[in-house]
Amino acid sequence: MAIKILIIEDDISTSQFLSYTMEHKGYQAITALDGTDGLKKALTGKPDLIILDIMLPGLDGFELCHRLRAYPATADIPVLILSAKALAADRIAAFKVGANGYKVGANGYIVKPADPAKIVDAVKNILNKKLQREN
Amino acid sequence: MTIKKVSDTKPSSTRVRPPSKDLAELATVSRDIAEREQAGRNELEKRCRHLGKVVEESTATIGGLRGQLKLESNERKRAERDIQTALKYAENIIATVPVSFLILNADLRVTSANRYFYNTFKVTPEETVGQFIYDLGNRQWDIPGLRDLLEHILPEHTTIEGFEITHDFPSIGRCVMLLNARRVYWSHDESPLILLVMEDVTQRKSKLQSIQAALEYAEDIIAAVPMSLLILNADLRVISANRSFYQTFKVKPEETLGQSIYDLGNRQWDIPRLRDLLEHILPEHTTIEGFEITHDFPSIGRRAMLLNARRNREFSQTNLVIMVIDDITELRKAHEALREVDRRRSEFITTVSHELRTPLQSIMGFTKLMVQGKVPDPITQKRFLDTIDKQSERLAGLIGDLLEVSRLESGKFVLKRQRLSLRDAIRSAIYELCSFTKEKAILIVDNIPEGLPDIEADESRIKEVMFNLVGNAIKFSSEGGKIAVNAQATHNEILVQIIDQGIGIPAEALPHLFQKFYQINGSDTRTRGGLGLGLYITKQIVEAHGGQIWVESELNQGSTFSFTLPLTLAPESR
């Protein structure tokens, strides 16, 4: 069974690019264009990894990540943030405490624009760590 | 003393008389004589005694008179001495006092002057005594003020004190003289003398003036400083306050002076932090600077006050507290506003950064994939190239908007006005937007009348306005929607309206719609991207042409954007 990657990204072009890149590496890609749809697909689709944008309509990436951590079904899904937010503060917030004071707990953070190879490497690394943890 | 006079009576006792009768008669006579003799003797004695008494009294009187005479002579001598002493004393005083002393006779000629006068005015007694006062020293005393005093004022008053004249004396320069004058009669038959005392008060005057000037200077500063000044005594009662204090706190001097600071204006100054400052901090420090208090003053509302206080022990024993109160409320507000501007700017940078990075991600991503040979399928390649192309244009558009705003704000925004048909300009813009309307099957209804008058405007800017407004209408219309573009002319302007049936604008967003970087929060608009500059730029262009722009909208019913362009050039417009 192919590894399933959920791409939560509101920019259609970026979403298409990420889908192609993941599929080209042999992963299965599913997409969501806003936070609410992303949460729904995370809960039902059982993805192995989520590539998450921060500035999303509806539910923003930080809040979505925090919610994912609260559900047993999604608590352990690794999250790679791919965001245009380039400030160090955002990066720190992604790993520790979000803007509203809650824990976000992302597993990786990449600033847009990023080379597809870099994104693929990050995805591989995170998946490997997950495998190590599970074994 | 007793004197016996017996010789007169002796001859009568020796007279001869007939015997018998004569004897008896003789005896009687003899008795008689003896009695008379006795009486005479008594009388004599009595007189002698009286005489003696008189002599005694006279002698005593003469003695007394002699003594008195001696006494009076001594007194006179003493009095003369006293007078001499007093005169010398007075002369010495006159000679030594540092004031000029001049005695004039009734004709205003100098009878005498003191040393100080000669020294001061650099003249000699020879050229002074006997001279007419006005003629002294090259007529330097011919001063209107002095003439006035001597000829008009003094004749009517016996004494004049503190008469001040300022005069340029050729010998000593400009002086301020204080004159005291007095008419004196030595005796009734003589004409009066005039004593004239002149004191050179130039230095004192100038010192006084500099003190006065310093005082006024200080008072001016105190009055002019925009900060409130309060001077308290050791009991923290107000001794004085400046104008700014009264103005700032809307109080009057009569309800302030003498009051305890805490009691001022309904105890509005009874602030724990102020108590802390005055009662605990200040007693331990001479100066307190930059002590900030924010307080709700009943009279003037919530204010931020910066207090500087100073204890003054050097100046007086009363231990004054000088307190400078600076109302920094406006400064604080300005500071907050500046922080808001700063916040918005960093928000803007975040937005710009995000908006630029997003299209760049797909451009970079697809390009890298193709360059790395990861897209072998030619149809997919074509699809990706189309996306790269579209995203590049989006990026260029964003940068263009940013530059436009920068131009608008730097004043380099110049309209290239020319006579043009608004109808043609609008139609050309709509035509260029057709490719976008086809995607969503949107119908644009052109209701522009043929006879619309020409205007003087910048054609490319007017087209930009139409691109923005019609472009927005297309963006926010659902598929198959209808957009109407209407235009009509009044006597002095043309009204253009763009009416869509799209999603509409939330009422709370309407007032901010034309503001720079404003973006409506909400899932539907965010996905459409943009910097929130389009409507801001549009408004700037319309207003630069002397027109107005406004919007009416109802959520889920559609929006109507209207703008006007004047038919005649406003004289002040560019």
| pLDDT tens digits for range B230-261 | 888 888 899 888 888 888 888 888 888 898 98
Q: Quick check: bond before B566 cis, omega within 30?
A: no
Asked if residue B2 has pLDDT above 70, the reply is no
Total number of domains constituting chain A: 1
With CA atoms as reference, the chain B residue closest to A18 would be B365
* pLDDT value for B573: 44
Task: Please state whether beta strands A49-52 and A79-83 pair in parallel, antiparallel, or not at all (unpaired).
Answer: parallel
Gap between the Cα atoms of B563 and B565, Å rounded: 7
Give the minimum alpha-carbon distance from A18 to chain B in angstroms, rounded to a whole number: 8
What angle do the packed helices A12-24 and B329-371 form, to 10 degrees? 40
Asked if residue B562 has pLDDT above 90, the reply is yes
* pLDDT value for B552: 94
Using a CB-CB cut-off of 8 Å, the residues of chain A touching B384 are 20
Residues 8-37 of A with CB under 8 A from B: 10-11, 13-14, 16-18, 20-21, 24, 33-34
Section B323-334 average pLDDT:
89
Gap between the Cα atoms of B338 and B30, Å rounded: 160
Tell me which range, A21-30, B112-121, B342-351, is most confidently predicted by mean pLDDT.
A21-30
Asked if residue B522 has pLDDT above 50, the reply is no
| Residue with the larger pLDDT of the pair A84 and B366 | B366
Q: Which two tokens stand for residue B240?
A: 């004085």
* pLDDT value for B152: 82
Q: Give the SS3 label for residue A59.
A: coil
Backbone angles phi, psi at B20, to 5 degrees: 35, -100
Backbone angles phi, psi at B487, to 5 degrees: -145, 140
Which of B371, B523, B531 should one mutate to test binding to chain A, selecting the residue with the greatest count of A CBs within 10 A? B523
Q: Which two tokens stand for residue B404?
A: 């436009």
Label residue A38 by pLDDT band (50, 70, 90): very high
| Residue with the larger pLDDT of the pair A99 and A73 | A73
Asked if residue B185 has pLDDT above 80, the reply is no
Q: Is there a contact between A87 and B390 if contact means CB atoms under 8 Å apart?
A: no
Backbone angles phi, psi at B470, to 5 degrees: -70, -35
Among the ranges given (A124-133, B1-10, B104-113, B471-480), the one the predictor scored with the smallest mean pLDDT:
B1-10
CB-closest option in A14, A58, A116 to B369: A116
Whether the Cβ atoms of residue B453 and residue B421 lie closer than 8 Å to each other = no
Which residue range(s) make up the domain with A55? Answer: 4-134
Asked if residue B156 has pLDDT above 60, the reply is yes
CB-closest option in A16, A113, A117 to B360: A113
Whether the Cβ atoms of residue B312 and residue B328 lie closer than 8 Å to each other = no
* pLDDT value for A110: 94
| Residue with the larger pLDDT of the pair B10 and B337 | B337
| Residue with the larger pLDDT of the pair B572 and B267 | B267
Label residue B553 by pLDDT band (50, 70, 90): very high
Among the ranges given (A4-18, B311-325, B445-459), the one the predictor scored with the smallest mean pLDDT:
B311-325
Whether the Cβ atoms of residue B244 and residue B225 lie closer than 8 Å to each other = yes
Gap between the Cα atoms of B259 and B271, Å rounded: 16
Label residue A95 by pLDDT band (50, 70, 90): confident
Give the minimum alpha-carbon distance from A114 to chain B in angstroms, rounded to a whole number: 6
* pLDDT value for B18: 56
| Residue with the larger pLDDT of the pair A121 and B217 | A121
Label residue A97 by pLDDT band (50, 70, 90): low
With CA atoms as reference, the chain B residue closest to A82 would be B361
Going B447 to B450 to B456 to B459, the CA torsion angle's sign is: positive
| Residue with the larger pLDDT of the pair B405 and A8 | A8
Gap between the Cα atoms of B483 and B558, Å rounded: 10
With CA atoms as reference, the chain A residue closest to B369 would be A116
* pLDDT value for B362: 93
Asked if residue B6 has pLDDT above 60, the reply is no
Q: Is there a contact between B357 and A114 if contact means CB atoms under 8 Å apart?
A: no
| Residue with the larger pLDDT of the pair B158 and B384 | B384
CB-closest option in B361, B366, B384 to A114: B361
Using a CB-CB cut-off of 8 Å, the residues of chain A touching B353 are 84-86
Asked if residue B542 has pLDDT above 90, the reply is yes
* pLDDT value for B19: 62
Gap between the Cα atoms of B291 and B307, Å rounded: 5
| CA distances to A91, B79, B214, B485, B487 from B445, in Å | 49, 133, 81, 6, 12
CB-closest option in A57, A85, A113 to B361: A113
Q: What is the largest CA-CA distance in chain B?
A: 229
Gap between the Cα atoms of B548 and B458, Å rounded: 16
Alpha-helical (H) ranges within chain A are: 12-24, 35-45, 61-70, 88-95, 116-134
* pLDDT value for B352: 84
Backbone angles phi, psi at A130, to 5 degrees: -65, -45
| Residue with the larger pLDDT of the pair B231 and B551 | B551
Whether the Cβ atoms of residue B128 and residue B113 lie closer than 8 Å to each other = yes
Q: Is there a contact between A85 and B354 if contact means CB atoms under 8 Å apart?
A: yes
With CA atoms as reference, the chain A residue closest to B374 would be A24
Section A106-134 average pLDDT:
92
Q: The sheet that has A79-83: what strands, in order across it?
A: A28-32, A4-8, A49-52, A79-83, A108-111
Gap between the Cα atoms of B395 and B387, Å rounded: 12
Using a CB-CB cut-off of 8 Å, the residues of chain B touching A84 are 353-355, 357-358, 361
Q: Does ipTM top 0.95?
A: no
Q: Which two tokens stand for residue B188?
A: 């009734």
Asked if residue B12 has pLDDT above 60, the reply is no
Residues 102-131 of A with CB under 8 A from B: 111-117
Conformational region of residue A46, where left means phi above 0, alpha means psi within -120 to 50, and beta covers everything else: left
Section B460-471 average pLDDT:
91
Label residue A39 by pLDDT band (50, 70, 90): very high
Label residue B523 by pLDDT band (50, 70, 90): very low
| Residue with the larger pLDDT of the pair B145 and A7 | A7
Give the CATH number, domain containing residue A75: 3.40.50.2300
Q: The sheet that has B238-241: what strands, in order across it?
A: B238-241, B228-232, B320-327, B301-312, B287-297
Label residue B572 by pLDDT band (50, 70, 90): very low
Query: Comparing C-alpha atoms, which of B231, B315, B326, B225 is closest to residue B278?
Result: B231
Residues 6+ apart with CB under 8 A from B122: B137, B171, B172
Section B222-237 average pLDDT:
85
Q: Is there a contact between B380 and A20 if contact means CB atoms under 8 Å apart?
A: yes
Q: Which two tokens stand for residue A40?
A: 């729904």
Tell me which range, B63-72, B107-116, B555-564, is most confidently predicted by mean pLDDT.
B555-564
Q: Is there a contact between B362 and A116 if contact means CB atoms under 8 Å apart?
A: no
Using a CB-CB cut-off of 8 Å, the residues of chain A touching B360 are 112-113
Section A66-75 average pLDDT:
88
Asked if residue B198 has pLDDT above 70, the reply is yes
* pLDDT value for B188: 64
Label residue B408 by pLDDT band (50, 70, 90): confident
Using a CB-CB cut-off of 8 Å, the residues of chain B touching A116 are 365, 368-369, 372, 374
Label residue B187 by pLDDT band (50, 70, 90): low
* pLDDT value for B318: 62
Asked if residue B517 has pLDDT above 80, the reply is no
Gap between the Cα atoms of B443 and B95, Å rounded: 118
Q: Is there a contact between A57 and B358 if contact means CB atoms under 8 Å apart?
A: no
Mean pLDDT over the full length of chain B: 84
CB-closest option in A10, A85, A115 to B527: A10
DSSP 8-state code for residue B153: I
Which of A7, A11, A17 should one mutate to test binding to chain B, selecting the residue with the greatest count of B CBs within 10 A? A17
* pLDDT value for A48: 95
Query: Comparing C-alpha atoms, which of B99, B125, B94, B112 is closest to residue B177?
Result: B99
Gap between the Cα atoms of B347 and B394, Å rounded: 21
Asked if residue B375 has pLDDT above 80, the reply is yes
Label residue B550 by pLDDT band (50, 70, 90): very high
Q: Is there a contact between B354 and A84 if contact means CB atoms under 8 Å apart?
A: yes
| Residue with the larger pLDDT of the pair A112 and B2 | A112
